[in-house]
Amino acid sequence: MLWRCNWVKQRRKLINTLSFSSLHTHSSPNPNQISDLSRHRAASPKPPLTHDDVYSRLRESSPDLKTLTFFFSCAKQSNYFHDDRAFDHMVSVVERLTHQFKSIDRIVEALILSGCAIKPRVLLLLLEIFWRGHVYDKAIEVYKGMSTFGYVPNTRAMNMMMDVLFKYNLVDRALEVFEGIRVRNFFSFDIALSHLCSRKDLDLVRVKMVLKMMIREGFYPNGERFGQVLGVFCRSGCVAEGYQVVGLMICCGVSASVNVWSMLVNGFFRSGEPRKAVDLFNKMGCSPNLVTYTSLIKGFMDYGMVEEAFSVVSIMQSKGLAPDLVFVNVMIHTFTRLGRFEEARNVFLHSLKNGNLVADRYTFATMLSSLCVSRDFDLRITIGTETELDLVMGNSLMNYLCKVGNTLAALKVFRNMSNRDLALDCYTYTGFLTALCQGEAYGHALNMYDEIIKRKRIRLDAHFHTVMIDSLVELGEYSSAMRLFNRCVLEKRGLDVVSYTVAIKGLVRGRRMEEACSLLEKMKEDGVMPNRRTYRTVISGLCGEKDKDRLRKVLRECIEEGVELDPNTKFKVVCFLSRYPRDCSEFRSVFEKWRENVDVSDSCDELSVSAG
C-alpha cells in the first residue's frame, strides 16, 4: 500500500516535471517559437482535457463499456494522465463489467466490437484499474492476456504483477517477475524491498541481494525504505549490515535521524556487542532521546551492567525527560530482575497514575511475572483482566492464576485464548496442562498432553514435558510420572537437566533411592549434566533415608564435578555424616571449607536468587 502511494506521488512528480519542462521551453523569449506555439494551438481541434471535465464525463457516462472506452481514449491523448479520482471511479465500472462479461477475454471482445482498438496501453490501463481496486485475480488475467495478444509487458506492468504475487505470498514467483524485468526502475526495487522486509519469514539474503542490485543499477532507496531495511537488519541481529546501510544512507544524502542511531545502539546490544553500542552512543550525530536511553538501560541490564543502567536513569531524570509507557515497563522489569520487587510494584502503582499513562499488555505481562517471582500475591493490584488478551499477556495471566491457585480462572483464560485468533504456543499449552493438573483433572491433562503431541501443531520444548511430569509428581502419581518420563526419553523429546531433576524428585518422593541414584548416573550418560538442584534433590533424599553409603558416593561425585551445594543441603550433610566420623574422614577438609565459607556462600545464594 505504502509504495503504491509513492508510486502515485512519483508519477505526479514526473508529470509536474514534464509540464514544467514544456512550459520552460515554450516561455522562451524567442518570438518565432511563440508564434509556433500559437499556430499549434489554433490548429488543435480539441481543447486540452482537464481532470475535472474527464471526471464529470466519466460519472455521467453509461453504459459501462462506453465509459471504459472513453477512459481509454482520454489516456491516448498525449500529455494527459488520469488522476487518482478517475482511476478510482473506474474500479467500480470494471467490477460491473467483470460481473457482466465473466472473463477478461469477453470484455476485450466487447471492446473490439464497440470499435475500441486493443493496444498495449489499453491492457495496461485495465491492469492498473484492477490492481488499484485490489481485484488481483483479474489483474493476473489481464497480465496473462497481454502475452496472448503478443505484447511484452513493460516495466510498469511487471512491477504491478510482482506486487500482486507478493500479496498472494508467492514470493518465488514475484522474484521471478522481478528478475525478468529487462529495465528495472526505482519502483521495481522499492516494491521488492518493501515486501521482502515486511515478510514474517524474513529472508535477509534476498533483502541484501535486491538492495545490492538496486545500487548497482543506479537507484537509491528513499528515506522511508532505508529506515525499513535498517530496522530489519537491526532487529534480526545483523547490525553490521545495518551499520553499512547507514553509511550508504549518509552517502545518499539522507541524514541519519535519532531513530536511526537508536536502532543501531539497540542492534549492537542485541547482537552481543555492548561495547560498540556504547561507542556509537557516545559519538552519535544528534542528541539521544527517550528511546535511545531506554535501549541503553535495557541493554546494560541484559549484560548485568546495573550501575551503568541506573546512571542512564539519572541522566534522564536530570534532563527532565518524562517517562513514557515503554520506559515504565522496562523499569518494572529491571527492578524485578534485581529482586527489588517493592520498587517494581511502586513503579507500576505510581508512575502509571501520576504520568497519565495507561498500562498495556506489556505492563501486565511484566508485572504479573514480577508478582510470580516475588511470590507476593497482592490482591490490591488489579491485573489487566479487562485488557484484551494477546498471546504473551494471556500466557502470563494463566501462569499467574495457576500460582495464586485460581485454577478455574486460568482455564477460563485458556478458553478465551483458544476462541480468539491467537497462535497458541508452548507457554500456553504448558499453562493449560498445569491448570488441569492443579484442578485435579490429571487424567484429562494426560489425554490433552497426548492430543497436543499428536497434533504436531507447535514445536514443543523440554518445559512442556517437564511440567506434565512435575505435575504428576506433585500429585503423588509417581509411577505415572516415571512412565511419562521414560516415554519422553525413548521418544527423544530433548529433556534437559530440569526434566531429569523432576523425575529424580519423583523417585525420591516415592522412596525409590536406588532408582534415583541410577537415574543420576544415566543422565550423565545421556549427556545431561546434573546441577546443584539435581544434587540437592538426590543428596537430601539420601540424608532423609539415612543411606550413608550411597550418600558418600554421590557426594564424592558432586565434589569431583565441582558442583557447589546450597547452604541448607550442606548443613544437612554435615549434620548427618558427623554422626559417623570414621566414614566422613575423606570429606573433612571439604566440610571445613564449607564452615569457613558459610557466610559467603549464603550471600552468594541470596544474590543468585535475586538475579533471577
Q: Does 173 bind DNA (CB under 7 A)?
A: no
For residues 300 to 339, the per-residue mask of contacts with DNA, x marking binding by CB under 7 A and - elsewhere, is: ------------------------xxxx-xx--x------
Q: How far is the CB of 424 from DNA (least distance, A)?
A: 10
98 makes contact with DNA (CB under 7 A):
no
Does 235 interact with DNA (rule: CB under 7 A)?
yes
Please name the residue ranges forming H helices in 475-512.
478-490, 497-509
Q: Which residues within the stretch 52-91 sit at the binding site for DNA (CB under 7 A)? A: none
Per CB under 7 A, the list member of 166, 189, 300, 362 interacting with DNA is 362
Using the contact rule CB under 7 A, the part of the chain among 35-43, 62-70, 151-159, 226-234 near DNA is 226-234
Cα distance between residue 215 and residue 508, in whole Å:
66
Shortest distance in whole angstroms from residue 198 CB to DNA: 3
Distance CA 276, CA 267 (A): 10
Residue corresponding to grid cell 483482566: 385
Shortest separation between residue 379's beta carbon and DNA, angstroms: 19
Q: Which is nearer to DNA, 262 or 569 (CB)?
A: 262
Distance, CA of 8 to CA of 86 (rounded, Å): 13
Kindly state the smallest distance separating residue 247's Cβ from DNA, in Å: 15
Give yes or no for residue 366 binding DNA (CB under 7 A). Answer: yes
Q: Does 374 bind DNA (CB under 7 A)?
A: no
Say if residues 522 and 504 touch (Cβ distance below 8 Å).
no
Q: Which residues of 196-232 are buried (b: 16+ CB within 10 A; e: fewer)?
A: bbeeeeeebebbbebbebbeeeebbbbbebbbbbbbb
Task: Pick out residues in 532-571 that bind DNA (CB under 7 A).
Answer: 533-534, 537
Which of 67, 188, 271, 363 lies at the binding interface for DNA (CB under 7 A)?
A: 363
Residues 513-532 interacting with DNA (rule: CB under 7 A): 531
Cis peptide bond upstream of 29, omega within 30: no
Q: How far apart, in whole angstroms, are the C-alpha atoms of residue 605 and residue 611?
A: 10
Piece in contact with DNA (CB under 7 A), picked from 132-140, 206-214, 227-235, 552-560: 227-235
Largest Cα–Cα separation, the chain: 124
Nearest residue to 153 via CA among 128, 136, 173, 132: 128
x/- binding map, residues 257-276, to DNA, per CB under 7 A? xxxx-xx--x---x------
For residues 436 and 468, what is the distance between their CA atoms, to the nearest angstrom? 10
State which of positions 3-42 bind DNA (CB under 7 A): none
Q: Compute how many residues bind DNA; rule: CB under 7 A.
A: 73
End-to-end CA gap in the chain:
45
- Which position among 373, 409, 441, 563 is part of the footprint of DNA (CB under 7 A)? 373
Burial 525-559 (b: 16+ CB within 10 A, else e): eeebebebbbbbbbbbbbbeeebbebbbebbebbe
- Closer CB to DNA, residue 82 or residue 270? 270
The minimum distance between CB 573 and DNA, in angstroms, equals 18
* Piece of the chain touching DNA by CB under 7 A; list 213-221, 274-282, 288-296, 553-561: 288-296
Distance, CA of 366 to CA of 329 (rounded, Å): 7
Q: Which of positions 467-486 make contact with DNA (CB under 7 A)?
A: 467, 470
- Give the span between the Cα atoms of 259 and 244, in whole angstroms: 16
